[in-house]
């Protein structure tokens, strides 16, 4: 056999070796993480439940999920061991401000409308009219209807007639 015919088999065996090696590393990291659990640490189970470790045995873990609620889990059911800050942030909603001097960005736009100076009651704020104003053609007054107004009146009459027919059906 030549090297060209053996090359696909060699590549396949090498890929399988690399995949199993990375999977073993992940399993070893997860096992070491589970073995490092101590009573009082916060954990997340593979089902997504957050609890505090109360007791660690060889193959099981006793978790405190709330006042008077103790649950017995297999060690393999622990998905992650959380740091104290992360556990308190997720479970209790306690945020730790790492940058106390930094500006706080508000969640709403209220800070965009506030001003530093107090609003003065005698300020001459004028209301803004955002409606379009049609310019009158030269020589016509506002009392005389224009050609556009007559055309609009005819289309309104046609619409009323067609609406009545559709209601009868």
Please report, rounded to a whole number, the percentage of residues in the chain having pLDDT higher than 90: 19
Examine the pLDDT at 110 and tell me if it is beyond 80.
no
What is the 3-state composition of the chain as percent helix, strand, coil, each rounded to the nearest 5? 40, 15, 40
pLDDT of residue 86: 86
Q: Find the mean pLDDT for residues 56-85.
A: 90
Cα–Cα distance list, 53 to 11, 44, 64 (Å) = 45, 10, 6
Q: Find the mean pLDDT for residues 74-100.
A: 80
């Amino acid at each position: 056999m030549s090297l060209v015919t053996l090359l696909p088999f060699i590549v396949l065996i090498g890929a399988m070796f690399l995949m199993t090696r990375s999977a073993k590393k992940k399993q070893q990291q997860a096992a070491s993480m589970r073995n490092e659990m101590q009573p009082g640490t916060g954990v997340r189970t593979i089902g997504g439940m957050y609890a505090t470790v109360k007791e660690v045995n060889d193959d099981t873990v006793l978790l405190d999920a709330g006042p008077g609620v103790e649950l017995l889990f297999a060690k393999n059911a622990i998905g992650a061991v959380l740091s104290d800050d992360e556990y308190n942030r997720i479970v209790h909603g306690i945020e730790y401000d790492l940058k106390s001097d930094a500006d706080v960005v508000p969640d709403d736009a209220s800070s965009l409308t506030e001003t530093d100076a107090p609003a003065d009651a005698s300020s001459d704020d004028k209301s803004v009219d955002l409606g379009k104003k049609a310019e009158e053609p030269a020589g016509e007054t506002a009392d005389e209807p224009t050609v556009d107004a007559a055309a609009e009146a005819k289309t309104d009459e046609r619409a009323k007639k067609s609406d009545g027919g559709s209601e009868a059906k």
